[in-house]
């Protein structure tokens, strides 16, 4: 069963912070995926999860590590999404959280 991302309520992030969360990162901070894909922003990551094999996902996210969560926390600086990804165990759950967060942040720009 896939957990649905909780609706994001509460105080909105400032527009500048949202812009930073959605921005591309410099090439040296890109996420280099085990399957050769490169992610430079949250949009790339969301699209990548949809096409990624479960094996590739498990390589980066397993009981010993969560590379996706770490990248979001350290490079993108999205503590909220990183924390949510710390709790998921499947690629489909991850797709739900990332696409939900992306839609929420994009909505905050208008």
* 9 phi/psi in degrees, rounded to 5: -115, 175
Nearest Cα residue to 103 out of 52, 42, 14, 30: 42
Is it the case that residue 28 has pLDDT exceeding 80?
A: yes
Name the more confident of 33 and 7: 33
Tens digits of residue pLDDT in 40-62: 999 999 999 999 999 999 999 99
- Please write down the long-range contacts of 45-50, taking CB distance under 8 Å and 24 or more positions apart: 45/72, 45/98, 46/95, 46/98, 46/99, 46/102, 49/91, 49/94, 49/95, 49/98, 50/95
Average pLDDT, the chain: 89
- CA distances from residue 60 to 48, 57, 102 in whole angstroms, order as listed: 13, 5, 21
Entry pTM: 0.84
Q: Is there a contact between 101 and 84 (Cβ–Cβ < 8 Å)? A: yes
Cα–Cα distance measured from residue 88 to residue 81, given in angstroms and rounded to the nearest whole number:
11
Q: How many CA atoms lie within 13 A of 83 on its CB side?
A: 4
């Amino acid at each position: 069963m896939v957990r649905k991302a909780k609706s994001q309520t509460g105080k909105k992030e400032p527009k500048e912070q949202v812009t930073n969360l959605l921005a591309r990162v410099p090439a040296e901070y890109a996420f280099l995926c085990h399957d050769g894909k490169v992610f430079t922003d949250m949009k790339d990551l969301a699209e990548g999860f949809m096409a990624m094999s479960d094996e590739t996902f498990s390589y980066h996210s397993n009981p010993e590590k969560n590379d996706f969560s770490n990248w979001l926390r350290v490079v993108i600086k999205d503590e909220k999404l990183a924390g949510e990804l710390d709790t998921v165990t499947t690629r489909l759950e991850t797709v739900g959280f990332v696409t939900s967060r992306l839609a929420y942040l994009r909505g905050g720009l208008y």
